[in-house]
Amino acid sequence: MREFRDAARVQALIQKIAPLADELAAAFGRPIQIMEVCGGHTHAIFRYGFAQLLPHSIEFIHGPGCPVCVLPVKVIDEAIAISAKADTILTTFGDPMRVPGTSQSLLQAKAHGADIRVVYSPLDALTIATKNPHKQVVFLAIGFDTTMPSTALTLTTAKAQGINNFSVLCHHIRLMPTLEALLAGGDIQLDGFIGPGHVSMVIGTDAYQPVAKVHHKPLVVAGFEPVDFLLALYQLLIQLKEGRCETENAYARVVNHRGNLTALAAMDSVFDYGEDCQWRGLGWVENSGVRIKPDFSAFDASKHFSPSAEPGIQQEPCYCQQVLKGQRKPNQCPLFAKHCKPEHPLGALMVSSEGACAAYYQYLPDKETGIHG
């Protein structure tokens, strides 16, 4: 019964969105360009057929909201260097395993004998440490604000329990500085943003105020079900019609304006903010990185191991950077589905389960439709 209700709501929303988008596009003299920040939303657009159901007066620009896709080559090289040390176990999530480093990926290093294990959470890595007291266990921590609380709480637990063979190689990234850098770059024309539901659950909608107040772009936070996404899109178009630039929430059952205060407090207790970091495809982004506080330095793998990986060579072609910044669609890359495929990815956008190239490859009917140039 719920499926019928949702289908009716989807149809009703599309009937509202289509004429509104056509009206705005006619007034603007071009399609309305909306960036969905999160890779999960990119996949939702294709999974639910929105690219076919919605009018051509809406153009979706795929944003940088996938932490695996912006993971620098140097990070992979550092992790591989640590995994090569004797009596060391490297743990990480599944997606980073196939991301290309300078000469190999973590998966290839594992095949060559390194003890690298996939875990579902940093607490799983901490459990491995307690079961292997004679080995050093390192967790490669990546992700936007969404995954930072679990890393923070794991470090707090490790400190409280006095576990001295566990550490974290911290390469978390904060979303808002990344969005602001993208807007400040002026490389692409954007009319508004669909905000990520998962990150917003942690940081709250108030965190996006600079997007509206400083950069004058409306943003609506969305969930991942069809009705959630379309409702957010409709609210965004209404803002554009009324000439407003505000932060709105179409995912109120999960997200509030202040965020998860417990999670934010855990992050603040463990991490210092304000690190300038270099990210794959985006270059240097001011204030986007975090570092582990001195109180937790005993669990900082970068201090314990001092990985000496040289700055990684960017192996990906320039098309990856253009796709990541929304300047080119994945199927406009001459390598897409020809030389770059999930089984042989040339870049992180094809590796990650939330990458734009992986979404196009999975859902695009004609995978061989590449536009050269």
pLDDT tens per residue, range 179-196: 888 888 766 789 999 999
Mean pLDDT on 286-314: 81
Length of the chain as a residue count: 373
Which of the following CATH numbers is that of domain 1-38+62-318: 3.40.50.1970, 3.30.70.890, 3.40.50.11740, 1.10.1740.10? Answer: 3.40.50.11740
pTM for the predicted model, two decimal places: 0.87
CA distance to 122, 126, 130, 137, 344, per residue, from 133 (Å): 17, 11, 6, 9, 37
Per-residue pLDDT reduced to its tens digit, 312-361: 444 555 677 778 777 788 888 888 888 888 877 777 788 777 788 888 88
Residues 127 and 157: their CA atoms lie apart, in Å, by 11
d(CA 75, CA 359): 24
Domain ranges of the chain: 1-38+62-318
Taking 3-state DSSP, the helix, strand and coil percentages for the chain, each rounded to the nearest 5, stand at: 45, 20, 35
